[in-house]
Amino acid sequence: MSELPLIDPFARAISYLRVSVTDRCDFRCAYCMTEHMTFLPKAELLTLEELDRLCSNFIALGVDKLRITGGEPLVRKGIMTFFEAMARHLHSGALRELTLTTNGSQLRKYAAELAACGVKRINVSLDSLDAEKFAKITRWGRLDQVLDGIEAAKQAGLKVKINTVALKGFNEDELFSLTEWCGRENHDLTFIEVMPMGDMGEAQRVDQYWPLKDLRRQLSTRYTLQDLPDRTGGPARYVRLAETDQRIGFITPLTHNFCESCNRVRLTCTGELYMCLGQEDMADLRAPLRASADDAQLRQAIRRAISHKPKGHDFDYTRQGVKGQMTRHMSHTGG
């Protein structure tokens, strides 16, 4: 008898799991974490074998898309053994897609191995093509290393999508140069509104906030934007630029609530399952995972968690400040 699929209280089938395999990163992006982050003790992290078991149970319950995130997932020691393990679900047909979001710093090292595991496309976070600005926003990053990693991904046959966080006063002046570069390199491009995740110290997100409706309006001064019906299982809404035939995505958690079609949940590197990026409610899956070698208790815990998935998030910016701010950092939940 096959397992019943995971259905939340609003009749949404949960088929997409985002898994943070580490909270660590080799960058310190200014909108994501403080420069001197305190990371989780390594002993608190799930082992790669435990992550395999958890993901395999979600796949048995109907999840067919798995995105590996972090922190920076490729800095986790031995991470390729996890990708190799997940590849068996691609081979069986139970998993439709295995992918990851990365800052690109380790792609020269791992791109070919990722492709060999069945990864077909990746998301690379890239907020500036100006080396000096890139170093400023990432604090520890080098643009040439990331661009070289993207080239390695292309050489390995991976389709690259660029994710750019829209930051007022930082990359507004690169809107067209980023778009044109992605066009030349045959990369899809998605713009993301900055989200209120974690205590950022000196960084003021209200000052960083560049509404994508304004970005889109600016884009339309040079291009004809054609709305697309594409739904990829993620929160982006897409347009095609008529002049270049490029696809551009917009992720707008603040100016447009995308929750009605949400089919995803997020698993942290410590085994916490967040049913919504913009809510603090979570379920501890590490305890049932470690309580028994039998999966019945774990699957019961997963189903119980999904039964509490909320209808939507509470992210909001106002003139006074940020509403719905999450205390946890994005690097912990998974980007």
Binding-site residues for GTP sit at: 18, 67, 101, 161, 264-266
Rounded to whole angstroms, the Cα distance separating 288 from 301 reads 7
Q: Residue 13: helix, strand or coil by DSSP?
A: strand
Binding residues for S-adenosyl-L-methionine, by number, are 31, 71, 125, 195
Rounded to whole angstroms, the Cα distance separating 305 from 307 reads 5
C-alpha pair distances (Å), 136 with each of 10, 47, 129, 132: 43, 33, 12, 6
Q: Hey, which residues does 162 pair with through a beta bridge?
A: 124, 189
Range list of β-strands (E), the chain: 16-20, 65-69, 97-102, 121-125, 159-166, 188-193, 225-227, 237-241, 246-251, 264-267, 272-274, 282-284, 316-317, 322-323
Binding residues for [4Fe-4S] cluster, by number, are 25, 29, 32, 259, 262, 276
Binding residues, by number, are 18, 25, 29, 31-32, 67, 71, 101, 125, 161, 195, 259, 262, 264-266, 276
